[in-house]
Amino acid sequence: MSKKLIVANWKMLPTTLAEAEGVLDLINDYLELLNEKKEFSLVFCPSFVFIEEVGKILKTSHLEHEAELGAQDIAVEDETALTGEVSGAMLQKLGVRYVIIGHSERRWKLGESDQVVNQKLKSAIRNDMVPIVCMGERERDENFSKFLEKQITNTFEGLTSDEISRCIIAYEPVWAISTNPGAHSDTPQSALESISVIKEVFSKIYHLSPKTYLYGGSVNSKNVANFLKEEEINGVLVGGASVNKEEFVKILSLVSKL
Ligand code: PGA
Residue 242 Cβ contacting ligand 1 at under 6 Å: no
Cβ–ligand 1 contact at 244 (below 6 Å): no
Cβ atoms of 215 and 191 within 8 Å: the answer is yes
Q: Which residue has a Cα nearest atom 3 of ligand 1?
A: 239
pLDDT at 217 over 80: yes
Closest Cα to atom 2, ligand 1: which residue? 239
- Give the CATH architecture of domain 4-256: Alpha-Beta Barrel (3.20)
* CA count, 13 A, side-chain hemisphere, 35: 0
d(CA 154, CA 243) in angstroms, rounded, equals 32
Going by alpha carbons, the residue nearest to atom 6 of ligand 1 is 239
What digits encode the pLDDT tens for the residues 114-130?
999 999 999 999 999 99
Phi, psi of 228 (to 5 degrees): -80, -10
d(CA 201, CA 82): 34
142 is catalytic: no
216 lines ligand 1 (CB under 6 A): yes
DSSP letter (8 states) at residue 121? H
- What phi and psi, each to the nearest 5 degrees, are found at residue 256? -75, -15
Residue 172 among the catalytic residues: yes
Percent pLDDT > 90 in the chain is 89
Q: Place 1 in a pLDDT band, splitting at 50, 70 and 90.
A: low
Q: What is the mean pLDDT of residues 50-74?
A: 94
- Dihedral sign computed on CA atoms, order 110, 111, 113, 114: positive
Residue 63, CA distances (Å) to 23, 68, 179 in order = 12, 8, 28
Best CA proximity match to 232, nearest among 166, 173, 188: 188
